[in-house]
Amino acid sequence: MADGSCNPITVRVSRFMAVASIVALVVLGASCSSNDASPANETTLSANNNAASTTVAPVADLPDVVVTYSVLAALVSDLVKGVADVITLIPDGQDPHTFEPSAKDIATLNDAALVVANGLGLEVGIDGALANAAESGTEVFFVADHVTLIDLVDVNDHAHHGHAHPGADSGHANDHEHSKDPHVWLSPESMREALPALAKAAGDALGEDLSSAAARLDADLREVDAELSATFSEFENCELVTGHNELGYFAQQYGCEVIAAILPSASTSAEESAGAVEFVIDVVRTHGTDVIFPSLGSSMAVAKRVAETTGARIVEVNTHYLDGVTTYVDFIESLGNTIAAGLRG
């Protein structure tokens, strides 16, 4: 038509092209905007990536120090914290006198940077494995080699108490007459005595200077020893009847005396005898003792029989395992406080 009016089809096409152009411009503008800001965005992403990479640091592969039983392992852990991983060979709560190592345990010993053991036959089931590990080049440190040892006294010797009980044989040969008491960890002073040599052996094996850690640990041991000394100074007559003959170092350190043991041997692998039990009953009555301190490996049935016969109380003590605490200082403090509370009644 020649009148100049718009063709409807032409108008619709024009509008569509206009809208399409606007959309294209918007998309192009967004793209340009994104491109213009790319340096800032790249910086942000790079920073985020760097932050992520610094939070996922590789875990240090520390050398292993293997310790035979848990109480000693707690002491060693405080000494080598941060420079070695401590592996406890004998599970906490298991009697070190009767433990037998598995093939995996033996491999663990052989692969250690250092092995720390008590010695004096305490870990009798591991003695062969310890000797083999040492022969193969593993450094083995025996704490008892660096402690002033005490004789293993026959606490159920009648003459020791100045009286005899007719027919009451202690029930064991005098096979410990010249042997030494292996329970060296039951005095913090003994642990202080061994600490310098232990720190040097561990430091040499690990290539670390442990003098500062040893000094801090020594201070902690001196502090707990002073606390326990003050606690036991209140007892004019500190007499202990135990499950087996184990508290010699503790008694010597704090002015006590072990006057009888249901199991007079230093090892729980021995067996109680009727004569020994009768002797303990006689000593409890004669000395007027009103408490018995059995521990891991002691026969609770026998302890209860003695208690029922004499009227004494039973206060179980933890001498060979941690029982929930994590440090040696907490262990020895708990032991001392339990014994003191038992003596007070």
Whether 46 and 125 share a structural domain: no
* pLDDT, position 6: 44
Looking at the fold, whether 189 and 42 belong to one and the same domain comes out as no
Average the pLDDT over 177-185 and give the result: 84
Confidence of residue 154 (pLDDT cuts 50, 70, 90): confident
Same domain assignment for residues 152 and 22: no
- CA angle centred on 143, ends 139 and 145, rounded to 5°: 90
Task: Tell me if 2 is assigned to some domain.
Answer: no
What's the whole-model pTM score? 0.77
The answer to whether position 191 is within a domain reads yes
Whether residue 226 lies inside any domain: the answer is yes
- Among 203, 187, 182, CA closest to 76: 203
**At 55, is the pLDDT very low, low, confident or very high (cuts 50, 70, 90)?**
low
Q: Print the domain residue range for 229.
A: 64-344
Number of Cβ within a 10 Å radius of residue 215: 12
Pair (46, 90) in one structural domain: no
Domain CATH code at residue 195? 3.40.50.1980
Same domain as 269, residue 142: yes
Alpha carbons 290 and 242: distance in angstroms, whole number: 12
Whether the CB-CB separation of 109 and 129 falls below 8 Å is answered with yes
- C-alpha neighbours within 13 Å on the C-beta side of residue 65: 30
Residue 197 covered by a domain: yes
Residues 198 and 281 in one domain: yes
Cα–Cα distance, 54 to 48 (Å, whole number): 10
First to last CA, the chain: 124
Q: Indicate if the pLDDT at residue 172 is higher than 60.
A: no
Same domain, 170 and 39: no
Tell me: pLDDT of 113 over 90.
yes
Q: Dihedral sign, CA of 289, 291, 186, 182?
A: positive
Pick the residue with more confidence: 60 or 144?
144
Query: For all residues of the chain together, what is the average pLDDT?
Result: 82
The number of domains in the chain is 2
pLDDT tens, residue by residue, 228-274: 999 999 999 999 999 888 999 999 999 999 999 988 655 554 555 67
**Domain-located, residue 48:** yes
